[in-house]
Chains A and B, each alone.
Chain A
Amino acid sequence: MADSSEARRLVDAIIANLPDPTPGLRPVHTIGVGVDGYFMASDVARTYCIAEHFKGQRIKVSVRFSNGIGSPFQHDGWGDVRGMATRFHLPDGTATDLIATTLGEFFVRNVEDFFEFAKVAKLEPYGRRSPWLKIWDMLQLKLPPPRDPYPNETENVNAGALRYANGHRFAQLGVVQAAVIGAPVSYARASYHAVHTFIVTDPNGVRRPVRFSWQPVAGVRNTDTKVVPRDKYLREELEDRLQRWPARFMLMMTIGEAGDALDDPTQPWPAMRNRVVMGTLTLIKVAEDQAADGERISFNPCRLSPGIEASGDPILKARKGAYEVSREMRGGCPFRWS
């Protein structure tokens, strides 16, 4: 288990910067919906990884989609990172989790960076930019100028995040991506990336560094940014979608090479890396018991089954402890580790 005091400080740093901290709820990714489904590994998955869920049998899964913002107030239509946490329920009663978000790369390399980021990227008042300043922006070819606030949006961390990124090049990709990430028309129409590197072992004992992504079979589509965003539609859209037809995601596994950033989640891997289709996730229905399957269910990116290991990524290691601390603080459901 990670250093619990560090884990606690991480969670406290997040809570200290929340617009509406609410005990008993997740500090981030607060609003979410639990979904039931199953995963079927591809024919080739077992040749790359010996983990149980890649052997080819049908694996029951629980998925929680979420909005990234840490607030009990729902703003589906705001530009925001979305989460897709997946629990694979293995035949022996254990489980393995895969936690992914729509952000391709993270914005800090390690815990120290995170604490500094938390200091700089504080909530600040956010209002409509004067049209005269927008004209000044346009004359400087800053196109488009900063967006207008969303309905009821009075503060955010954008200015601080930009200041941090201006001073830390490793953070620039993540911050720029987050700034333009938008809102999906459906949780089932976004790509989700696990960000961190994991090490998978094949039947011959060969260990490979990999990164996982979920790609939606329905395709990626965001809402129109010129239209007033709606606050509540993602859960209803998913219920409606799954009543008509299952939603599917392909699990893609990209294999890293020597020289790729294995322990740094801020660094992308080149697009020319080999990638393998590891299987298909089929989502059947929104879970009936949302209190259990949407709220109390607790995921952890380091809950891994034999055949998959965490890399040396310090953020991944830190998340292990932070997720447990957060779970205990909100009374989330414990789950045995093995």
Chain B
Amino acid sequence: MPGDEGWFDRFVNGLQESDVFKRLASLVLVPFWAWRMPVKPLPGGPRPSTQPGDNLQCMMNLIMPLKIKSPIGRAEAAKAIAENKDAIFAGLNNVGTVHFARFVIVGDNICMFSVYDGDFTNYIRDFIATIGGVFNAVVELAEGGEKVIPCECHVEAFIEWVRARDLYQVPDTITDFLRDQEALNGDKAIPGNDDLSLLPRKLILQLRANANVSLGSGYRAYPGFSVAQVRKRLGIGW
């Protein structure tokens, strides 16, 4: 209990909270355990579901590393978005299933975060059909982008390209994250030999494999409603 420990207890308790240990563990222990117990990256995008509510207000967190990792590369990305604002807005209106969408530069990545209704592949398909030209201007600035432009001519390849850069969405419950790991590893074993005390290490190693993730399914003020329902109920037409 706090307050009656010996000096060694206090030292160890303090050590586990210390930045020194965390930095040292990041340099030594994490690579060691990653070598001992390799962890595959978990795939991005929404998890498959046939339930109606799970296909509304889905998230896309698309992270595209820029080819030119400097202010020049970032400025090119900002310019590409700014020059095509009308095209982007008109295109998103035409897609019709997008609640919110925005472009963000984080570090040397151009990111598109959006909330949409329906199937992921259909969303991307509609998206490039309506603003594919604009997206080409952005994608050509990203690493590996040259392989999939013009995206309207490489639809399936482009969908896969986006999926590979869409962040893994960590489930709302920590134990569902374990189920994702088991599914990825093809774990068909009858449960009975789990070790929940290893949960912290599993999470650390997964976040090493998936350095960027979306945490949980996120907050929604009006979950379960589509773009069309919201606009209809608000009386703002289509």
Residue positions of A touching B, CB distance < 8 A:
105, 128, 131, 134-135, 138-145, 148-151, 153, 162, 165-169, 172-173, 175-176, 226-228, 255, 257-260, 268, 270-275
Closest Cβ neighbor of A271 among chain B residues: B217
**Chain A residues whose CB sits within 8 angstroms of the CB of B197 once the complex forms:** 142, 162
From known contacts A274-B223, A275-B223, infer whether A165 and B196 are also in contact, taking CB-CB under 8 Å. Answer: yes
CB-based contact A272/B29 at 8 Å: no
CB-based contact B196/A162 at 8 Å: yes
The majority secondary structure among interface residues of chain B is helix
CB-based contact A128/B5 at 8 Å: yes
**Chain B residues whose CB sits within 8 angstroms of the CB of A226 once the complex forms:** 2
Contact partner of A270 among B30, B205, B217, CB < 8 A?
B217
A-B contact pairs, 23 of them (CB 8 A): A128-B5, A131-B12, A139-B29, A140-B201, A148-B1, A148-B2, A149-B1, A150-B1, A153-B1, A162-B197, A165-B196, A166-B196, A167-B194, A169-B175, A175-B196, A257-B51, A258-B51, A270-B51, A270-B217, A271-B217, A271-B220, A272-B57, A273-B224
CB-based contact A141/B33 at 8 Å: yes
**Chain B residues whose CB sits within 8 angstroms of the CB of A141 once the complex forms:** 25, 29-30, 33, 200-201, 204-205
CB-based contact B173/A134 at 8 Å: no
Across chains A and B, the number of contacting residue pairs, with CB separation under 8 Å, is 126
**Chain B residues whose CB sits within 8 angstroms of the CB of A273 once the complex forms:** 53, 223-224
| Count of interface residues, chain B, beta-carbon cutoff 8 Å | 52
Q: How far is the CA of A271 from the CA of B225 in the complex (A)?
A: 13
Q: How far is the CA of A128 from the CA of B220 in the complex (A)?
A: 42
Residue positions of B touching A, CB distance < 8 A:
1-3, 5, 8-9, 11-13, 15-17, 21, 25, 29-30, 33, 49-54, 56-57, 172-176, 178-179, 191-201, 204-205, 216-218, 220, 223-225
**Chain B residues whose CB sits within 8 angstroms of the CB of A143 once the complex forms:** 16, 200-201, 204
Q: How far is the CA of A237 from the CA of B2 in the complex (A)?
A: 23
CB-based contact A167/B53 at 8 Å: no
CB-based contact A228/B2 at 8 Å: yes
